[in-house]
Structure 1
Amino acid sequence: MRRSCRLAAFLGLAALAAADLRHQPLSTHHKRVASSGIIYDGQIASSYDYVIVGGGLAGLVLASRLSEDANATVLVLESGDTGDAVRSSIDTPGDAYYSSLLGTSYDWQFETVPQEMLDNHAVSWPRGRLLGGSTAVNGMYLVRPSQLEFDTWAQLQGGAAGANDWSWSGMFPMMKKSENFTAPSAAISDAGAIQYDINSHGTAGPVHYSFPGYIVPAVGNWTETLDWIGIVPNPDPDGGQGWGAFIATSSINPDNLTRSYSRSTYIDPLPPRPNLAILPNATVTRLILAQSGQVVNATAVEFQAYDGAPVQTVGVNREALLCGGAIGSPTVLMRSGIGPTNILQPLGISTYVNLPGVGQHLQDHLSGEVVFSTTAETAASIHSSGSDPSSAFLSFINSAIAYPNITDLLGDYAPTFQSDILNNLTSSASSLVPSTDPTVIAGYKATYNALANTILPSQVGQIELLFSLTGTSFGANSIAIQAAGQHPFSRGQLYINSTSAFDKPIIDPGYLTHPADIIVLREGLKLARTLGQTFPLNAVITGELSPGSTVSTDDEWDNWLVGVVGTEYHPASSCSMLPLDQGGVVDPSLHVYGTGNVRVVDASVFPIEFSAHLMVPTYGLAEQAAQMIRQLWNEGVTPSQATATATGSLGPSSSGTTGATPTAGAKSAVLGLSPASFLAVGVAAALGALVL
């Protein structure tokens, strides 16, 4: 604060009386960019209204939506490359399997610590590191969670104002807003036995929801086979009841059969916007924070082009928006001084806001598979023969899916299973939560109870089954049925052990530390085996390759699966939206507790895992966040939820009321500054002088 005042005095009253620098035209270097706003020469302005950390799914949605306001300037800082050099591989759906970018420089190549319950194996955690993030490299499943899961998320907020934004009624229109649905052709629909309800889909959004241009014939057996074992086909999996068996929509542009991802949909089609800049190869090292009364504010963002490169700084005029995902966002917060003091203090990081929940509540979907030999034509066999290189064939990706509920898995044992889980709440909370902080433990109990009492006994799926026809380690003439637990009772954590943004964090998902998780996964794998023995799928299966006949008892299944399971690529919940006294990190407005202008917008805020892939709910989250932010700054809509207090080592901090109008005087209130000091901070940021 004193530094801002000294700078203001140095510049003189004339500078403070000048027009608001935030809305001056950006410098001429912005003419040397593509129309989408991607900066190729590294030159950016000195400050922006919104600085978005991470150019993945949520970051590019925010960039597109916020820059629709011509009077707001937006910068995206993306650690990875543009992806231009590998655009052909990105665009071709089948290359997600046949020419994957995972394991390359376009992948963060994260890895967990050895997992005690997985025979001390470490597990690979790939994440996209390029514009578009994981939407540029993933398997393209567009699957919605069920209404009950969203409503449970909202109920976990303890009645806080704004909680209903995250219920089904709040999120359903936001998911539809992102969607441009195209029905399958009659031939594709018949081949895959595809069902849908057009009323559950949006048709005017950026992201294409459609189906491949070619279907491997075996897909047509999927829903019928599941129907034979009592898991019925779902005619409307996107309307709030996402259980049963179906063929999922995929993020494929039906016009040219290319991948539809956050860059190609939200950014590339944009007309020239001089108020939008997207800077690749810019790794954010930390937020530069300033204490202002009882809140902490981000005044600038620090970044480097590469490890050892000069440190650069860009000013924040309105908000810093963290969109780094379940790994990136909590690590940026910790390096900035927001997080558990016991993690920050040994690293010499001053604690601006002591938030014990940062990096806690970590969850993931753990997956295994049963592999069969087959006489059927598979996508892998067609691809390996080279007989059909057409774009239609190369648009084929795995999309046959099912979500069995707990009764499908356990039958009459399901109520006893639920009782056992509830009876073990106290012991689980005392032994399985990585943190000793009482608020984090309270949050575990809250989510645990919600899963056990609300979601578990419902029709919502507890396991996900996927039909894989794109090859296994056993060769092209094999198919797999994958099973993944959807609502783990195990919890993990991630944290930094270095102040460098180029050192990978410690990731410990705590896989299978709760015994319920291994039971659910085991029964899901058993169900996968049963499907391979059931008509009509069994007509094209000649044997089971893995695990095979040596595995039949529960103990044999348990001993086998811990050596073969891995991530389903859905990490979440490390910046959970929960009440502060339950180890929460963000409130229902997505503001980080104890801050005035820092929000997290990505899958890290989900307090529970969903029975779904995370791409669709994250698109909905980002659309909701963009609307929320624009309403605040354009209409003066003030989030009405009560603010909570967080205590940091630099003095008491609490999330203040964040309502503001577009005037300098009102916006200064968001940052806890007087109007004159607010302008001083803006000028200082413009000069790149706010390195604390």
Structure 2
Amino acid sequence: MWPVEVAFLTILGLSSFGSCSPHERYPIRTLSPRGIVYDGNIADSYDFVIVGGGQAGLVLAARLSEDSNHTVLVLEAGDTGDAIRNDIDVPAFAYYKSKMGSSYDYGFQTVPQANLGGRAISWPRGKILGGSSAVNGMYATRPSQIEVDAWSTLVASDDSDAAKAWGWTSFLSAMKKSEHFTPPGSDVRNLADIHYQPSNHGTGGPLHISYPGYTFSQYRDWLVTLNNVGVPDSEDAAGGSTEGAYATTSFINPTNWTRSYSKSAYIDPLPPRDNLAILANATVTRIIFDSSNSNNLTATGVEFASNRDATKRTVKVSKEVILAGGAVGSPHVLLVSGVGPKDTLEAAGVPVLHELNGVGQHMADHLSSGVTYAANFDNAGAIWAKGGDVANSPAFLSFVNSAIAYVNLTTLLGDDGAKALQDEVRQGSPSSLAGSDSDVLAGDKAIYSAVSGTIFGSHIGSAEMLLSLNTPGNVAIQAGLQHPFSVGRLSINTSNAFDSPIIDPNYLSHASDRTILREALKLARKLGQTEPLASSLGDEITPGPSVNTDAEWDAWLSTHVGTEFHPSSTCAMLPRNLGGVVNAKLQVYGTANVRVADSSIFPLSFAAHLGVPTYGVAEQAADIIRGFYNGVASPVSPPSSTSASDSSSSQTPSTTNQNNAASTHAINSWLNWTLLSATFLTSVLVL
């Protein structure tokens, strides 16, 4: 199947291929039509070197290489994922064949957390082309308008014009630009009572966002049950108002019921581009700087190696290094390259090239746990365990959890309790780690003020509630803290990039975080005891009837909470005097040509999963960078109507208008195929 797919993908995109000879800027090398280099033979120099071939990195690779006058290299520490493509593509396998704990997971651990019983918490991150977007649970939620505008306000004091790119109007356009939305089928829509507003969604982007092809009536019960405890339905949380209960969209391609992620959406459909190279199994060990001006370091190259014992290689950089390693990878690379807090670098044996105290600081993460019940119905996990035709059908295997709700303080605590906690928080301060720099502390306080004064106590959710149906015989109602006031950091104690960084989220160090999570777990129990959902549930398994008082809940959650997999803010977009790492143009302070474009730049936590906003950051970054080098202004372009379609194909595609249109285009384009030169054809190795 792969050769046929490759041939048609090659046909579909010839009009965007640059006019230059395929060998003018690259040596002859083994190269797939998608730009993935399998023999390690890359050029000596590239205009842009992207560090990290994960979610944001592959978006940037595709967008920047649309300009044929720019050469682009992506360096990804993980593997290509070719060997496990079926496990990636099938959405349900995120739950049933998880890659957590495998070689495709970095397997990070936090330091022992004092407020979690001294436990070190697992922090899985995808180590593969596509990054965490290739292995995650596929929730496609957006932040709210009030949160995004608060972010823009935090950076406006430095550059109000550039900050507009991060306000709601522009950022919504960036998120929509990445999206190709498909409504649910009528059966799924009716069974789960799904609501959406088409105008809130993009329809021409590379990334498929839709709903599973299989669902359960308990999703409709979820909405009614939340209504019965005072939580309204959300007509479409994608429009900027995220509070309420709904069935969320997921990163699913409904034409073939496969996962849609950065590689399948942005890279796999590409025609051959001689200006794009993607090298897997290449861990960046440091950025090489011309340090003659310590206040304006110029990146001249990037050093990398396939493993800790391998010979290091260096590739030169003509224009920029773009860090896209996520909330862990990007600050880690800066630190081992000599950019960061002076005391941290000196203690780790890293020469200090530029002191930038905000690197790795302002760390935030969603903390979560859940209440588990016995299931009185055949949930997804039970169906999978039984096997058979249904369990192996493409529609069923597209099922992922999508029943969700964002609940505010009033729902959790009542009017009086919400006001009391809001007043307490507004009079308090963030729980920063000891020893933080004064600028970093000022930034922590600015973020705290923005959240406590604008977001906290508003209609925006303080807790996320999720209905999980994927464990055989069990149903979990999960609760996640969305706006933590506990502030952590990432640092290093070694100069070796192959050694894991030190991750300290400082969980539950702020009293309000514990209060909100405890009350959210109480709500999870209440939901399980409220009709109509209660009729589908049996006995409570965990925490069980022995946990009732606040003290009992606090003791239990300390030993049963973990990450919701949404770390952010470690290269925060803030003014430098607030411990910022990048400005509103994503440029790293103190460097001439290094940017960061990933989830590490969010200065505050969102009541949302980070997939959609991270795609928005990458789209916005590509526009900013291309605008700079092409000499034009850089507002976000309107959603494209001609973007490539996601080519995931582990299941047989259903017959749709979109497929028919693609086939027609392919047939028509075949006439142009014979016009390609023999030289061009021999430059491509079809896998």
- Matched residue, 2:178: 178
User: Is this contact kept in 1: 2:26–2:274, CA < 8 A?
Assistant: no
- Matched residue, 2:647: none
In the TM superposition, what whole-angstrom CA distance separates every residue of 1:660-690 from its partner, at most 9, and x where no partner exists?
Answer: xxxxxxxxxxxxxxxxxxxxxxxxxxxxxxx
- Report the Cα offset of residue 177 of structure 1: 0.1
Query: 1:231 is aligned with what amino acid?
Result: V
Is residue 408 of structure 2 the alignment partner of residue 405 of structure 1? Answer: yes
- Report the Cα offset of residue 353 of structure 1: 1.3
- Matched residue, 2:386: 385
- Matched residue, 1:339: 340
- Matched residue, 2:501: 505
SS of structure 2 residue aligned to 1:62: helix
User: Is this contact kept in 2: 1:433–1:441, CA < 8 A?
Assistant: no
Matches within 5 A, 1:355-370: 355-370=356-371
Matches within 5 A, 1:129-528: 129-161=127-159, 162-293=162-293, 294-387=295-388, 388=390, 389-411=392-414, 412-425=416-429, 428=430, 432-471=432-471, 476-528=472-524
Matches within 5 A, 1:33-112: 33-112=31-110
- Report the Cα offset of residue 28 of structure 1: 3.6
Query: 1:587 is aligned with what amino acid?
Result: N
In the alignment, the residues of structure 2 paired with residue 561 and residue 348 of structure 1 have an alpha-carbon distance, to the nearest angstrom, of 38
- Report the Cα offset of residue 637 of structure 1: 4.7
In the TM superposition, what whole-angstrom CA distance separates every residue of 1:367-407 from its partner, at most 9, and x where no partner exists?
Answer: 00000112122000101111321111111010100000111
Query: 2:489 is aligned with what amino acid?
Result: Q
In the alignment, the residues of structure 2 paired with residue 334 and residue 442 of structure 1 have an alpha-carbon distance, to the nearest angstrom, of 21
Query: 2:327 is aligned with what amino acid?
Result: A
In the alignment, the residues of structure 2 paired with residue 524 and residue 377 of structure 1 have an alpha-carbon distance, to the nearest angstrom, of 27
In the TM superposition, what whole-angstrom CA distance separates every residue of 1:312-361 from its partner, at most 9, and x where no partner exists?
Answer: 00001000000000000001001111000001112332212101110111
- Report the Cα offset of residue 448 of structure 1: 0.6
Q: 1:22 to 1:58 in 2, by over 3 A?
A: farther
Query: 1:575 is aligned with what amino acid?
Result: C
SS of structure 1 residue aligned to 2:299: strand
In the alignment, the residues of structure 1 paired with residue 169 and residue 506 of structure 2 have an alpha-carbon distance, to the nearest angstrom, of 33
Q: 1:164 to 1:384 in 2, by over 3 A?
A: same
Query: 1:418 is aligned with what amino acid?
Result: Q
Query: 2:319 is aligned with what amino acid?
Result: R
User: Is this contact kept in 1: 2:433–2:506, CA < 8 A?
Assistant: no
User: Is this contact kept in 1: 2:194–2:247, CA < 8 A?
Assistant: yes
User: Is this contact kept in 2: 1:323–1:602, CA < 8 A?
Assistant: yes
SS of structure 2 residue aligned to 1:501: coil
In the alignment, the residues of structure 2 paired with residue 504 and residue 348 of structure 1 have an alpha-carbon distance, to the nearest angstrom, of 15
In the alignment, the residues of structure 2 paired with residue 436 and residue 540 of structure 1 have an alpha-carbon distance, to the nearest angstrom, of 49
SS of structure 2 residue aligned to 1:383: helix
User: Is this contact kept in 1: 2:26–2:275, CA < 8 A?
Assistant: no
In the alignment, the residues of structure 2 paired with residue 320 and residue 109 of structure 1 have an alpha-carbon distance, to the nearest angstrom, of 26
- Give the length in aligned residue pairs: 610
- Matched residue, 1:600: 596
User: Is this contact kept in 2: 1:195–1:246, CA < 8 A?
Assistant: yes
- Report the Cα offset of residue 174 of structure 1: 0.3
Query: 1:118 is aligned with what amino acid?
Result: L
In the alignment, the residues of structure 1 paired with residue 479 and residue 170 of structure 2 have an alpha-carbon distance, to the nearest angstrom, of 30
In the alignment, the residues of structure 2 paired with residue 436 and residue 53 of structure 1 have an alpha-carbon distance, to the nearest angstrom, of 28
- Report the Cα offset of residue 272 of structure 1: 0.5
User: Is this contact kept in 2: 1:433–1:444, CA < 8 A?
Assistant: no
- Report the Cα offset of residue 264 of structure 1: 0.2
Matches within 5 A, 1:681-692: none
In the TM superposition, what whole-angstrom CA distance separates every residue of 1:48-93 from its partner, at most 9, and x where no partner exists?
Answer: 0000000000000000000000000000000000000000000000
Structure 2 unmatched ranges of 5 or more: 1-19, 636-687
- Matched residue, 2:630: 634
Greater mean deviation of Cα atoms: 408-417 or 144-153: 408-417
- Report the Cα offset of residue 420 of structure 1: 1.0
SS of structure 1 residue aligned to 2:83: helix
- Report the Cα offset of residue 23 of structure 1: 11
In the alignment, the residues of structure 2 paired with residue 583 and residue 331 of structure 1 have an alpha-carbon distance, to the nearest angstrom, of 16
In the alignment, the residues of structure 2 paired with residue 444 and residue 497 of structure 1 have an alpha-carbon distance, to the nearest angstrom, of 23
Query: 1:361 is aligned with what amino acid?
Result: H
TM-score, structure 2 normalization: 0.87
User: Is this contact kept in 1: 2:214–2:395, CA < 8 A?
Assistant: yes
- Matched residue, 2:115: 117
In the alignment, the residues of structure 2 paired with residue 495 and residue 610 of structure 1 have an alpha-carbon distance, to the nearest angstrom, of 23
SS of structure 2 residue aligned to 1:117: helix
Identical aligned residues as a percent: 52
In the TM superposition, what whole-angstrom CA distance separates every residue of 1:468-519 from its partner, at most 9, and x where no partner exists?
Answer: 0001xxxx21100000000000011111111111111111000000000000
- Report the Cα offset of residue 292 of structure 1: 4.9
User: Is this contact kept in 2: 1:219–1:400, CA < 8 A?
Assistant: yes
User: Is this contact kept in 1: 2:339–2:355, CA < 8 A?
Assistant: yes
Q: 1:630 to 1:22 in 2, by over 3 A?
A: farther
TM-score, structure 1 normalization: 0.87
- Matched residue, 1:642: none
Q: 1:375 to 1:275 in 2, by over 3 A?
A: same
User: Is this contact kept in 1: 2:34–2:272, CA < 8 A?
Assistant: yes
SS of structure 1 residue aligned to 2:518: helix
- Report the Cα offset of residue 168 of structure 1: 0.5
In the alignment, the residues of structure 2 paired with residue 349 and residue 184 of structure 1 have an alpha-carbon distance, to the nearest angstrom, of 53
User: Is this contact kept in 1: 2:368–2:564, CA < 8 A?
Assistant: yes
Structure 1 unmatched ranges of 5 or more: 1-20, 640-692
In the alignment, the residues of structure 1 paired with residue 410 and residue 536 of structure 2 have an alpha-carbon distance, to the nearest angstrom, of 28
Q: 1:438 to 1:530 in 2, by over 3 A?
A: same
